[in-house]
Chain A
Amino acid sequence: MTPTGHAAKAATGTQTVAQATSAGHVAPVIGEDWLSVWIGLFIFVLSLGVLAGLDLLGWGITTNVWTSLDKALAPVSKAYAALPGVGSLVLTYAFLLVVMSCGALALRIPIARFAGGFTFVFWASYVCWIVGSWAYIAATSDKLKAFGIPWSLNLTAEAGFLVALVAGLLVGNLFPGAIDATRDAIRPEWYIKTAIVILGGFLGVTAAERLGLATAVMFRGLCAIIEAYLIYWAIVYFVARRYFGLSREWAAPLASGISICGVSAAIATASAIRARPIVPIVISSLVVVFSCVELLILPFLAQGFLYDEPMVAGGWMGLAVKTDGAAVASGAITDALIRAKALAVQGVKYQEGWMVGTTTTVKVFIDIFIGVWAFILAVIWTSVIDRRPGERARAGQIWERFPKFVIGYVVTFLVVLGVGLAAPALVAKAKAAMAEANAFRGIFFVMTFFSIGALSNIRNLWAEGIGKLAAIYVVCLFGFIIWIGLAVSWIFFHGIRPPLATG
């Protein structure tokens, strides 16, 4: 079962731990992590057709900011301008249904159940995106006159992500039956990892234009490893053990969940210290719920007082928001909100993607060391704390726990960066190609938001008696993690600003 699956079961309380651990599912052909890599690469490779004059994904849907619904939808490429927006949306749905259903087959998910669930997630998410793109919600200040409206919330089209999150929360908490029926397709980790693989290419073309800045940002991203593993983890573990009296079995996975990367870190740590299955399940659920809270608060906080330091805001999201999905999503919203505010207040138009690129860099650096940290904990636990005869931690566990989607992200990033550096004349075409891939990335994003919300059944979690764990989470997250993250991000990223957008 995937981490998301674990979290889902606990969040809804529909399955006992015993059932969850002994369900006897047939082993999947491929893990969700590798599947994200292959699906992301498949879309990425198709988009590269533009470099050879083949527009293979130009029919993909994009959502424009709108005042009239018939203007909301359009194909991403002008080459397909004759295709109606609704036709483009249906084509996109059909394409993704086929691709993701192939993935579901590989994961051994019953195909009919997955297809039904995916249909629900796709359309619910996309309707949210369309709603969020309404000009009164999304239009930036420089576009008010063009839309002929006197005001807007200035939230940009990424407001659709927040609408999707709220819609997911409402459905998950008010209609849990609907979530149970579609659970096979409510997989935020799968969607966001696929999106991150595609995002690598988009950031690669951005970096190709400003290599020096991109290198500096990437090197500074290393700070995240130190902060998450050596500072956050130690403090959270100490607070949980010393002041809340948690056992080691709960404290170590909780520290990893709060400090490192939510779900996967909690599961890796629990496995490393041989905690009972209930431990990572409950903690993962808690992480997902708190990610929603952070997602709804931090980007707006960043917009409020960090619009003059955009890269600090981007780094902050990566350091403070847990789970890959929520962190990168927060980065995307922060990117949009700060660009909108900088334009409105300072008249400065920053290039898109640098803030979410910083968030993603920070998050990816954090992710890649989960296996190493789990190995270190396994060594300490098996050799000192919980010593059992004949047991030793294996170095191979580092690779087993390595988040494989990072490989996809690095590959797409380097391929596009390489193309841009080797043949600068191709940068314009590479940009067009990545714009097409990016349309699909946006869809995976919005489905991630909806899924995160849908999995967060707050009432059932509370009923399971996790108030104390939640208290520790609140104390640590809002007591120091957010603020240390802000301070470290400030130290490393202050004074760095994205390039200005042209046109």
Chain B
Amino acid sequence: MSGQNRIADGGRDADEPLLPVEKRLIGWSLVAGLVLLGALVWLSYTFFPAS
């Protein structure tokens, strides 16, 4: 099965460098994630304190 060789090879047909859109997806995800986590911490402790 050709799929097996591809898996063993890390699924690589040919070199696929990271495209700018992939870099943007990764970068924006991380930045948005960190910002939103900060916002959520503030909202949680401000409006939904758990005592």
A interface residues (Cβ-Cβ under 8 A, vs B): 16-17, 212-213, 215-217, 219-220, 222-223, 226-227, 229-231, 233-235, 237-238, 241-242, 244-251, 276, 278-279, 282, 380, 384-385, 464-469, 488, 491-492, 495-496
Contact = CB atoms under 8 A, between A and B. Distances in A.
A488 B37 contact: yes
A433 to B, nearest CB: 27
Interface-central residue, B3, B12, B16, by most chain A CB under 10 Å: B3
Contacts of A385: 19, 21-22
26 contacts: A17-B1, A17-B3, A217-B50, A219-B44, A219-B48, A220-B48, A223-B41, A227-B33, A229-B29, A231-B29, A231-B30, A231-B33, A231-B37, A234-B30, A237-B22, A238-B26, A241-B16, A242-B18, A247-B13, A247-B16, A248-B16, A380-B21, A380-B25, A385-B21, A466-B7, A492-B41
Nearest to A497: B50
Given A216-B49, A241-B18, A244-B10, A234 B4 contact: no
A466 B41 CA distance: 39
A231 B29 CA distance: 7
A216 B18 contact: no
Interface residues of B, number: 36
A348 B32 CA distance: 40
Contacts of A249: 11
A463 B9 CA distance: 14
Interface of B: 1, 3-5, 7-13, 15-16, 18-19, 21-22, 25-27, 29-30, 32-34, 36-37, 40-41, 43-44, 47-51
A464 B4 CA distance: 6
Contacts of A278: 1, 3, 7
Contact of A468 (B7, B18, B36): B7
Contact of B12 (A17, A217, A230, A245): A245
Given A216-B49, A234-B30, A241 B22 contact: yes
Contacts of A223: 37, 40-41, 44
Given A212-B50, A245-B15, A465-B7, 5 more contacts: A230-B29, A230-B30, A234-B26, A247-B12, A465-B4
B40 A226 contact: yes
B49 to A, nearest CB: 7
Given A216-B49, A244-B10, A466-B7, A237 B26 contact: yes
Q: Give the most central of B10, B18, B48: most A CB within 10 Å.
A: B10
Contacts of A496: 50
A281 to B, nearest CB: 9
Nearest to A219: B48
Contact of A384 (B9, B10, B21): B21
Given A216-B49, A282-B7, A465-B4, A235 B30 contact: yes
B43 to A, nearest CB: 7
B29 to A, nearest CB: 4
Contact of B22 (A16, A230, A248, A467): A248
A194 B17 CA distance: 43
B13 to A, nearest CB: 6
A220 B48 CA distance: 8
Contacts of B25: 234, 237, 380
Nearest to A210: B50
Nearest to A253: B11
Contacts of A234: 25-27, 29-30, 33
Contacts of A215: 48
A465 B5 contact: yes
